[in-house]
Structures are given as C-alpha cells and as structure tokens.
Structure 1
Amino acid sequence: MTNPTNPTYRILSLGAGVQSTTLLALSAEGSLPRIDYAIFADTGWEPKGVYEHLERIEREIAEPAGIPILRVATGNIRNDALDPKHRFASMPLYILNKDGRPGMTRRQCTGEYKIKPIKKQVRDILGHPYPQRIPKGVFVEQWVGISRDEFHRAKDADVAYMHNRHPLIVDMDWSRADCTAYLQSRGLADTPKSSCLGCPFHGNQQWRNIRDHSPEEWADVVAFDAAIRAGNAPANASGNPLLGQAFLHRSRVPLDQAPIDHITAREWAQRQAALDTKAPGEPLKELEDGVTDGCSPWTCRGDEPQHGQDDFGLTA
C-alpha cells in the first residue's frame, strides 16, 4: 500500500551549476540522503563548459555512488528558433519597438525545454507515462538547488506527483558562497553557471567570458543574435511577425556591438531608479553577473507559472 507521506523516489533536478552540483556531491558522499536519479534537461545549446562539467561529475561523483544521471530533451532551442517549420517556445528576447519603446518577448523556454522533459521522465520513472493517471500518493521528491540567499525562489511543482524539496535551505542552511567553498574543497572550483549559451539573461561578465575565452561560441551567439533580429522563424512563418527588432543583449543593439565592457548611461539610470525597491548595488550586480543561479528549472529569473492545463503540464 502506498504511503502518501513517503516519496517513491528521490530525484535531483540537475542543471550542472553550482547549487545542483553541490547537492549531487552531498548525496553521493552521504551527507544528505541518497538520491535515486539525477535528471539533466538538455536544451541542446548549453555551453561546452557545462557539458564537460556534466561528464566530469558523472564520472567522478555520480557513477562511483551508483547515482544514474538521466539526460532528457525536447529539442534544440537554437535550431528550433531558426526553423520556420518547428514549433518554438519563445525565449525572453529584448525588443526595440518601432516607436523606440523597449520590451521583452514572453519567456516559455524553461517550461518547454527544461520542465516538460523532466516531468515526462518522472512519469516514466514512476511507471505511468502520459496520459496515464498517476495514483494518489505516488510521487517523487525532487531536489532543487536553491540556496539560503535565494530562498524567495523556492516553490513547489505544479503537479501532485512531484514534491519539490530544497535541501540547501532546509537541511544545510547554506548560501551560494557556502556551496562554492564546498565545491572548491572537492576540486570543483571551476563549476560553471547553467544556462543556454545564448541566454538573454546573461550578465556582461558572462558575455565577456564567452567572447574572450571561447571564440567559436562567441561567433555562434553573435550569428544567432543577428538571425533573430526579426523574431523567431516559426512566428514569422505563421504570420505573426515581430513588430520591432529583437536582441540578446539588454542594450538592444547587436551583440558584437553591445556595451559589455562597461555600464551605459541608461543602465546607470535604471540602477538608480531601482534602488528604491532593491538592495543598494543589486541592479548593477545583475547587469554584470546576470542570473545568479543560471537557468535551472524552477529557479530561472522571471519564472512564469506552469499551469496544469497548458502545453507543458503533463498532468494527472
């Protein structure tokens, strides 16, 4: 008989960034309970450093501990955006409208390329693939890598068969700095941020890092930025053209011309305006560092509710 208070499995939502790598290592060494699976949702356009790090932690941490890392995907976010025949869940692109006003496109990519394939994999693990109904009380405990300093991002999943847990907050009371120090002690000081190569939420530091240390990847994102100037190809092909221009960088100029080496006057003004509602220095830090936790499921900046009946629900 199913116990409604005990999970059928423990899984880790593994973005291969700082916090989720910390959780994998803590579980593997026995400092936290053993997880049954770690699931990595691959957008198809992760930085090469993320893929290399994933291979390393699988080889050095997960496999010796007997923890399977499952890779799941629903497509390639870069290719899908440029393919007029492919359904595409939009990225949060920066828009310059025809009248000069700034805007952003809706962010659906986390739901489509991260959350949806994880839900599908969880259903398969539980033995109830969609559209089967999952019996009441059958669920997985899903670990999400949110640390103490990001506690406001902690939330539950929107389906009954997944219960989110945040061990870095509940069990460890660790900040991101604590995670970084722990990874350094494990020889993993070079753990990267987890986000798509061309994520619009990159800070200037991340853009500079790609430009200065990975010319091939820089050429890739510059080419992509130019290719989506009129919006994504599927929308244009379906008769819903973008009424303006789209950009990867918040300055709303082509990426290879964007002011990633300094703060613009407009950005400085925006920082000053934001100080009324945010901690001093935080807006400027965001301009430079981007999303602290990368774009892992359930932690991406600007997360939109993944309602049970939408395209990404996989409910029941």
Structure 2
Amino acid sequence: MTTEHHRLNAPSATPPRIQALSLGAGVQSSALLLMSAHGLLPRLDYAAFADTGWERPETYAALDWLENEVAKPAGIEIVRLRAGDIRRDALDPNSRFSTMPMFIRNPNGSKGMLRRQCTSTYKIKILLAEARRRLGAEVFDDGRIGRVKRSLSLSMWVGISSDEFHRAKDSGVKYAVNEFPLLQLGLTRADTQAYLDQHGFAAVSKSACVGCPYTSNAGWRNLRDNHPVQWDEAVEFDRAIRAGNARANANGRPLLGQAFLHPSLLPLDQAPIDAPPKRRHLRLVGADEAVDWEDGDPDGCSPWACRTGRPEQPAGISEVAA
C-alpha cells in the first residue's frame, strides 16, 4: 500500500479538489473513511450519507459508530442527506415515488421487473446537489441548488474494490468526478474487511433499504429473526404494494400485474427464505447473469454501484413512478 499511498498523495500543479466520499456505511466506503482518518489516503473534506429513510438497523448503527469514533476525532464532517422516505412515499397517494426494482407477475403469468429509479432519486441526486452546494452553487429559497461554475469540480470517492471493478461508473456530470481509491490500491473486498476487523469495526452490511428487492434469503432471515419490527414493516409493505404505488393507483394508473419483494412471486411472509439443505441458484429476472439468491446480498445498492442488468419491463407498464 505504501507506493500507492505516495502516488495518491503526490503534489499537484493544480489546486486540490474538494475530497468527498459517498458513504453507505458498508464495507468498502467505511474502509475508505477509516483510511482517510488514519492518513493512509488524503484527508476527506466531507462524507455524505444518502438516507432513504428506511435503511437497515445495522446501517444506522454503523453510521453512528463511524461518525462518533472515526470521523469526528479526525475532523471529517459526515453530512446526512435525505430526499424523502421511500417507504412512506410508496404508500402515500400524495407523494411522488421513484420505482423500486420489484418483481412482477404479469397478467399473462410471465415474470418481469420494475425499472429501478430509487437509487437515482433517493441517493445520487441528493449527493450531487450537495456537491454543487459545496462548490458554491446558488441555493434557492425552495431548497433547489443551482449550477456550478464550469471550471469547478470535486472528487467523489466511491467504494469499489478490485474484485468488483465492473461496478465502477462515472458520475455522469463534470463537477463531480468519481474516483475509486480501492481500485488504485488494488484492494479486494476481503482486504477492506480485514482492515475494518483490525480496527474493531467488523459488523457492517451492504447498504440497502429494509424493503430492497435485491435482499438475499439470508438477508431476509436476518431481518425476520433479529429485527422483528423491520420485518413486520417489510411484510406489510410487500402486501401494500401488490397493485403498485399509492399515487399511481390514486391517479387511475394501477399496476397491470402484481408486485412482490421476493423473486418467488410469493408474499414475503410465505416466500421460501429459509436455508435450503443444498445450495440453490436463482436467475434474477431480467438480469444478465445468474446470482446466488441464498447467500449475501447480490451487490447491495450503493450510488453509482447498484447492481446492473436489464430488467424486463412488465407487460402493459409504461410509467408507474409519477
């Protein structure tokens, strides 16, 4: 790590950018925060956590620990951002809701998957808005944040390790340049987990909300067995979204099919989430690759690093997120 450390900290002829971290409180982003706090990486100016309003209990606990035990002693600001409450927005006919990638049983019996818009709305957009604010953009009375001067930009660190390099994506804007320090250092997820273990921070989970359809069977069992309040919320949410989100239904545009949180297309409290005697593999509907739906969450749901794939559009669905 030493050689790369020197390279990452090499003097630059241009003024240093603001160093920001997209913090999901999972393994990789937590390791980046610790490495910055310990001086192994440049000092972060701030770390931004985009809160969907329905994050997992482990995520909130990890975030609190990082803030109090790591960031504050190192003088690194953690800012918590929120664009809404994803659970409330789905169930409130008066709230806009950005579609979650729920599994669909189409009217003809075929399987499909809703378009994933939640990561953009509840995470990426507010992270970019905060970046513009930090770069001096105008903040309007209604809370909107204006444009950034063309010459300004910041570095947005994203926690992608070398074994997941295929998940690394550009930000899509010029004023926030995504950078991947773990890739530069050649560190794997196992390396970053070992680094966290060495510093007493072992209990982290992949970032995703309680009702994320990308949750594995193991993840659902953990919720059911260890977090009964959140499990009950997820079960009720699964029932409530069977015909789509509340606003679309109120506007006379119900889902032409049935939505489920589990790929079995069964109600969550009836879904086969208990560990099978032998490993079984499910192909995620519409995805490009087979994924193991029994073990750890397949990729989690981090900004610019949510799982990829091309979900099928359910029959008769044009837009359900208005």
How many angstroms does 1:241 deviate by? 0.8
Alignment partner, residue 9 of structure 2? none
Q: Which residue of 1 aligns with 2:220?
A: 207
* Shift in Å, 1:62: 0.2
TM-score normalised per structure 1: 0.87
Using the alignment, how far apart are the partners of 1:7 and 1:239 within structure 2? 52
Aligned twin of 1:21 = 30
- Aligned with residue 198 of structure 2, among 174, 180, 185: 185
2:56 pairs with 1:47: yes
What secondary structure is seen at the aligned counterpart in 2 of 1:285? coil
C-alpha contact (below 8 Å) 1:83/1:234 kept by paired residues: yes
What's the offset of the Cα at 1:218? 0.7
Counterpart of 2:69 (choices 31, 47, 60) is 60
Cα deviation for residue 8 of structure 1 reads 3.1
Q: Tell me what 2:260 maps to.
A: 247
Correspondent of 1:111 among 90, 114, 120:
120
Question: 2:133–2:145: 8 Å Cα contact kept in structure 1?
Answer: no
The answer for the alignment partner of 1:257 in structure 2 is 270
**d(CA) in 1 for partners of 2:281 and 2:196?**
34
| CA–CA separation in structure 2 for the residues paired with 1:131 and 1:219 | 37
Structure 1 ranges of 4+ moved more than 6 A? none
* 1:303 Cα offset (Å): 7.5
Contact 1:7/1:141, CA 8 A, preserved across alignment: no
Cα distance in 2, alignment partners of residues 127 and 284 from structure 1: 43
In the aligned structure 1, how far is the partner of 2:222 from the partner of 2:145?
43
In structure 2, distance between residues paired with 1:223 and 1:302: 27
CA RMSD of aligned residues (A): 2.2
3-state SS in 1 of match to 2:295: helix
Contact 1:93-1:200 at 8 Å conserved across structures = yes
Cα distance in 2 for residues equivalent to 1:16 and 1:132:
28
Looking at secondary structure, tell me which structure has more helix per residue.
1
1:255–1:162 CA distance, 2 compared to 1 (3 A): same
Q: Tell me how far apart the structure 1 counterparts of residues 13 and 214 of structure 2 sit (CA, whole Å).
A: 39
Counterpart position of 2:160: 146
Q: TM-score, normalised by structure 2?
A: 0.85
Is 1:289 paired with 2:296? yes
**Offset, 1:288:** 2.6
Distance 2:269 2:234 in 1: 9
Q: Is the 8 A contact 2:282 2:291 kept in 1?
A: no
Partner residue in 1 for 2:178: 164
Amino acid at match of 2:173: V
Task: State the alpha-carbon separation in 2 of the partners of residues 269 and 299 from structure 1.
Answer: 22
Query: SS at 2:182's partner residue?
Result: helix
Return the offset for 1:4: 10
Per the alignment, do residues 131 and 49 of structure 1 end up closer, same or farther by CA in structure 2, a change over 3 Å counting? closer
Q: How many aligned residue pairs are there?
A: 291
